[in-house]
Structure 1
């Protein structure tokens, strides 16, 4: 029922294959987001400091995972192009190459972050030393465990990228579903020390995430071993090709750079929130980000589906269909987020309490305010994800990278800094900076894609062979 063949993607209706491929991805992204949300829900019942600690870690975690995006997106797009061109052997080589690269990235980046976690977070907490000690020590524990588990999570994501590149988003969903189940079971056991398990607090939340990811990747390799998608990996294709490595890096490196730039520019925004409102502001900002991550599920699923649909149509030399896919995705994603935004505006208070009933009155008030301001810009976020999908699949992920730098560096950060540092404003100015930057990015991406779309897809189709 939810299977999509190459012929479905490169011939006939576009909306049908796009939606069918996206449905398991939407569910998968719900699963991925729930893994993050579950940590906050359980830790929100421990203390507000634990929630704030996750917030302090968030930009550093995003920076760490930027390296994973290189292999994840690069592998997915290269695999999808080769599948579209009926080069199944080349697709297998691309997946194996991506897995080796992912493991290397995970070991190097994760190891460095594990060593640097303590000094980095203690330096960041000096922004507000009188209220940062407890939050910082919790943050060090959380980040250190996730850094050591990065090799596992990097390989897991890349295997998922290989499945999605083949048009098999259900396998990726199964992997994420198992990871979520593991996290749901292990979180309360390891955080609160239920039964024979030790009480590890915030360390237990991080450990549950890593162990859940391990279960997911084991399932992925079991599916491959049982022959799913022609096995995806076979012994005769277990080699690394220089051209394939360059292809993955060409597509994935700008996406990884985009993620790194986004997190580097998010970091001072988190610090401005901490400076303006302390732990209460950081807890509010963290909960807002987690709720927003649920709202991002529709465009993220459509983005991944669109990258595969666009990639396969480019491989089949159908640039017109590739271009139309992006516009269809923009309409669906923006419409879905309009509905989500309206719902969030109405239910802001219950949402905040559901996440963290231990919040102080100040933190609760700030959380409700941020949730409502965020909701205004949700349709714009839908457009951003889908335009970036088109640029990424057309091997123009550098455009997505530059857009992110502008969104965060020339709009969001200056507005937030001016509000807090120059105008003596409250943390609300940071909240509005987020929404204004999202709307601005959607507008300039729409203008640029409309200006260059025909030529962009035509050139990408010519070099995809």
Structure 2
């Protein structure tokens, strides 16, 4: 532990940042691979199964957004306390993060499992796919406490600078899911084929496996969690809610706008527009994996340097991170701009006609905004590492609701009769799908400019001067209040 802390607060910033980021990028790749493999096996059941699970994606996205509070709060506060050489306070914070995740997961998961049918109806599930979608959502929802607790422990490792443990946990989660998918879906030996229920159970089993490994690593010498860290402290819980809460709001903001945008695209672009938008979203989700991994690593490094009272290194970490992320995503953007057709067919081999033409156009427009995405990810990781998570919430609120959605709405027909999800909307300018495409890229660029300007102002105002003081004294209600 001391070796990792020494590297983060004293060693080479570029080398340490890359060494922390590589396992996190790898775990993100593993998660994407899991989604692809899930779709492959579900496709063997039939198109209805794939559509049913696809309809649950926005709902599950919102559900996991609610579990971000203990995840992000744990990572940031643990990193600050480790930087301040308060290992006991950091371990106590991990326990509170797990407890909060279990409570939120049980509350949200239980509610969703009970209300799965009306929820899938809200996202437009027809009578042909609604039963399967409700079944899948209801079973997966029951696994949310396991997923949340596993994520909180994972965040504790990342906050301490142990990103390899996070990779191991994710590999275990995905490996169990992938192995059990075909067995539970189609059956084998004494295990009966359960179809879409089996796919959901395989996912929950993966969550359980990840949590089991996370607990084993946490109570072992890698983290050293023990009974003495189980003492409750209201200050720790308040700190988690204060730091993690705005990130939950940020995720809810982005997920809700994405759901609405699907409706806008359906009205403005029809089936071809939906195909282009979906392929673009999938390609972008893969392209941004490097910047998301680097950002998570930078967040821990900034937090530890803030805790160690090394604002100079916190500034350098953010600056180096921005440079690496912008360069990586710019390179990916150039490749995507040069060969958009092959990229599109890599995700949807049989795409053609208007769908292909719109997808090629969208992929090229998306590529212009990739460097901006990298810059925003790393700049916000600097704010987050300092405990200023409300900045991330405000940035996404403006990006999605003040820029992306209003500009995308210009694609709608120039009549008052257009509706999205059955709700009448104001007439647009009938600009078609290009308005949606440029709304996405334009909002990313606008966010980079705005966040960049505010970051410069905040650094001059002492953004990295201090942070969570570690809650060193049990019972001190002000001990764990984050800087904001």
TM norm. shorter chain > 0.5: yes
Is 1:64 aligned with 2:63? yes
Q: Which whole-Å CA distance do the structure 1 matches of 2:61 and 2:230 have between them? A: 31
Is 1:457 aligned with 2:456? no
Is 1:402 aligned with 2:394? yes
- 1:336-355 matches, within 5 Å, as 336-355=328-347
Q: Which whole-Å CA distance do the structure 1 matches of 2:304 and 2:461 have between them? A: 18
The answer to whether the 8 Å contact 1:284/1:367 transfers is yes
Residue in 1 that maps onto 2:204:
210
SS in structure 2 of the partner of residue 457 of structure 1: coil
- 1:359-374 matches, within 5 Å, as 363-374=355-366
Q: 1:340 to 1:253 in 2, by over 3 A?
A: same
The answer to whether the 8 Å contact 1:55/1:283 transfers is no
Q: Which whole-Å CA distance do the structure 2 matches of 1:280 and 1:207 have between them? A: 34
SS in structure 2 of the partner of residue 73 of structure 1: helix
Is 1:159 aligned with 2:165? no
The answer to whether the 8 Å contact 1:77/1:308 transfers is yes
Higher helix share: 1
Out of 169, 174, 178, which is 1:180 matched to? 174
Listed as ranges, the gaps of 5+ residues in structure 1 are 127-131
The answer to whether the 8 Å contact 2:247/2:389 transfers is yes
Q: Which whole-Å CA distance do the structure 1 matches of 2:204 and 2:326 have between them? A: 33
Listed as ranges, the gaps of 5+ residues in structure 2 are 414-427, 472-484
Which segment drifts farther, 260-269 or 137-146? 137-146
SS in structure 2 of the partner of residue 125 of structure 1: coil
The answer to whether the 8 Å contact 1:114/1:143 transfers is yes
The answer to whether the 8 Å contact 2:157/2:166 transfers is yes
Q: 1:459 to 1:173 in 2, by over 3 A?
A: same
| Offset, 1:83 | 1.0
Residue in 1 that maps onto 2:236:
244
**Which string of whole-angstrom CA distances, capped at 9 and with x for unpartnered residues, describes residues 10-31 of structure 1?**
1142112111111111111211
The answer to whether the 8 Å contact 1:57/1:139 transfers is yes
Q: Which whole-Å CA distance do the structure 1 matches of 2:197 and 2:277 have between them? A: 21
| Offset, 1:402 | 0.5
Residue in 2 that maps onto 1:31:
30
Q: Which whole-Å CA distance do the structure 2 matches of 1:300 and 1:45 have between them? A: 32
Q: Which whole-Å CA distance do the structure 1 matches of 2:398 and 2:48 have between them? A: 32
Is 1:144 aligned with 2:143? no
SS in structure 2 of the partner of residue 227 of structure 1: coil
Q: Which whole-Å CA distance do the structure 2 matches of 1:331 and 1:42 have between them? A: 39
Is 1:334 aligned with 2:333? no
| Offset, 1:124 | 3.3
| Offset, 1:43 | 4.2
SS in structure 2 of the partner of residue 317 of structure 1: coil
Q: Which whole-Å CA distance do the structure 2 matches of 1:223 and 1:281 have between them? A: 46
Which segment drifts farther, 440-449 or 208-217? 208-217
Residue in 2 that maps onto 1:83:
82
Larger Rg: 2
SS in structure 1 of the partner of residue 408 of structure 2: helix
| Offset, 1:110 | 1.6
Q: Which whole-Å CA distance do the structure 2 matches of 1:186 and 1:403 have between them? A: 40
The answer to whether the 8 Å contact 2:315/2:464 transfers is no
Is 1:224 aligned with 2:218? yes
Q: Which whole-Å CA distance do the structure 2 matches of 1:120 and 1:325 have between them? A: 43
Is 1:440 aligned with 2:442? no
Q: Which whole-Å CA distance do the structure 2 matches of 1:44 and 1:3 have between them? A: 48
Which segment drifts farther, 72-81 or 355-364? 355-364
| Offset, 1:210 | 2.3
- 1:292-441 matches, within 5 Å, as 292-357=284-349, 363-421=355-413, 422-441=428-447
Residue in 2 that maps onto 1:129:
none
Q: Which whole-Å CA distance do the structure 2 matches of 1:380 and 1:100 have between them? A: 36
Q: 1:20 to 1:67 in 2, by over 3 A?
A: same
Q: 1:196 to 1:339 in 2, by over 3 A?
A: farther
Residue in 1 that maps onto 2:10:
11
Computed over aligned residues only, the root mean square deviation of the Cα atoms, in angstroms, reads 2.7
| Offset, 1:57 | 3.0
Q: When the two structures are superposed, what TM-score results if normalisation uses the length of structure 2?
A: 0.86
Q: 1:305 to 1:294 in 2, by over 3 A?
A: same
